[in-house]
Structure 1
């Protein structure tokens, strides 16, 4: 029996623009997000790429987008320190994604769990079996060791977003085995991100009980399929 898969279309923001929209350098993130909602999106994954890659970010723009969009927003992108956490907590985001780099500070992860409760999502970025922090040279160690030293991840106190750092944005196919293995380590279904190339990947993730959500970016924005087709494949 198949299960439903919740789809979170991504809107990546850089220098005030929707970064993944091809052929329109002036694309406004709010317009892109509203277009996705009109096509059927019920949740959105909003990413501040500038904050994620140490270029400062635009907290005012991101908080404003969260406020004005008509569907719940999962807020992501470089939320990795106490100051970032305080800012994100104060937004109206439905969920807040703590960056993978924050896993280097167990006390911060515990603090985030205490402050955000069910709003907390923890990113676990994986490359070649290790947890990494994209945009930096930081490598935190093998996945099983990193998960093992974080009770927040193992105890179901936070949703885990598993990002395939080797495939993210490349449309080379979803590594279902990776998502399944991390889900089994944390003991609960995870949100998958990275590698989706076509509708067959979405169907494979839908049929994997260890995955109950997927973040969808490049394949959608580059026209591999429509959002309506993706939503149908996830049912």
Structure 2
């Protein structure tokens, strides 16, 4: 299972949000560049970055994100505010390893399917679920689309992955989250990445045995220091199966 240590940016600061409330950020007093370098030093193979200002249509973090891409030492998966083809192509040209699309996938699924074919293994679908509906616009707009129908719409697209977030639970009911995620993962044709379910190393140990889930985003727990990234990466590795000895 691949762990994606995560940085979420707002006004140049590393933050975490509760249920996507942009007006109530929890600010972490860390340097985003040093943090990104630390992910690579710990042994991570990827990192994830969410630009909350991009979700609101603002570009305050552009230069900082460009610098993170340059110094991280590992590929960067970026989400937040991609509303058209130009913005996706521009950030891939800037060196982004992957682009995460949620709102654009709700509004223009044909375009997202085209982008996935043009940039194979670089487009990730964001599937944010609240009360059985797919959400968009930073969790603020409910669509009329059921999660299963949303997955079906992209069944033939060569996506790099699908990030699934259960907004209902938001880290309060792990069993319910894992039930939703495993059910959707069983229907998905691309690797599923769980979001919002990792609070400690035990959660990683449980998650890696949930069928069809290939990875997880880990953010808030790193900054709260309830998880050590080096240990988490080790736990996420597959364990060798015991083999019977024959004499």
Q: 1:219 aligns with which of 198, 207, 221?
A: 221
Q: 1:139 aligns with which of 123, 127, 143?
A: 143
What residue in structure 2 maps to residue 62 of structure 1? 65
Q: Do the aligned residues in 1 keep the contact of 2:9 with 2:61 (CA within 8 Å)?
A: no
1:113 aligns with 2:109: no
Cα gap change, 1:23/1:92 in structure 2, threshold over 3 Å: closer, same or farther?
closer
1:48-127 to structure 2, matched below 5 A, reads: 48-127=51-130
Q: Do the aligned residues in 1 keep the contact of 2:117 with 2:157 (CA within 8 Å)?
A: no
- 2:121 partner SS: helix
What residue in structure 2 maps to residue 206 of structure 1? 208
Query: Any gaps of 5 or more consecutive residues in structure 1?
Result: none
Q: 1:166 aligns with which of 155, 168, 174?
A: 168
1:12-27 to structure 2, matched below 5 A, reads: 12-20=8-16, 25=29, 27=30
What residue in structure 1 maps to residue 186 of structure 2? 184
- 2:202 partner SS: helix
Q: Quote the Cα distance in structure 1 between the aligned partners of 2:199 and 2:233.
A: 15
RMSD: 2.3
Q: Quote the Cα distance in structure 2 between the aligned partners of 1:165 and 1:77.
A: 17
Q: Do the aligned residues in 2 keep the contact of 1:47 with 1:77 (CA within 8 Å)?
A: yes
- 1:80 partner SS: coil
Deviations 1:95-153 (A, max 9, x none): 111124432212221221133211111111111221111243242421122222x2xx3
Deviation at 1:226, TM superposition (A): 0.9
Residues matched between the structures, number: 226
Larger CA Rg, structure 1 vs 2: 2
Cα gap change, 1:108/1:188 in structure 2, threshold over 3 Å: closer, same or farther?
closer
Q: Quote the Cα distance in structure 2 between the aligned partners of 1:40 and 1:212.
A: 18
Q: Quote the Cα distance in structure 2 between the aligned partners of 1:114 and 1:83.
A: 16
Q: Do the aligned residues in 1 keep the contact of 2:3 with 2:236 (CA within 8 Å)?
A: yes
Q: Quote the Cα distance in structure 2 between the aligned partners of 1:184 and 1:39.
A: 31
Q: Quote the Cα distance in structure 2 between the aligned partners of 1:164 and 1:208.
A: 16
Q: Quote the Cα distance in structure 2 between the aligned partners of 1:30 and 1:143.
A: 35
TM-score, scaled relative to structure 1: 0.85
Q: Quote the Cα distance in structure 2 between the aligned partners of 1:108 and 1:11.
A: 27
Q: Quote the Cα distance in structure 1 between the aligned partners of 2:205 and 2:181.
A: 14
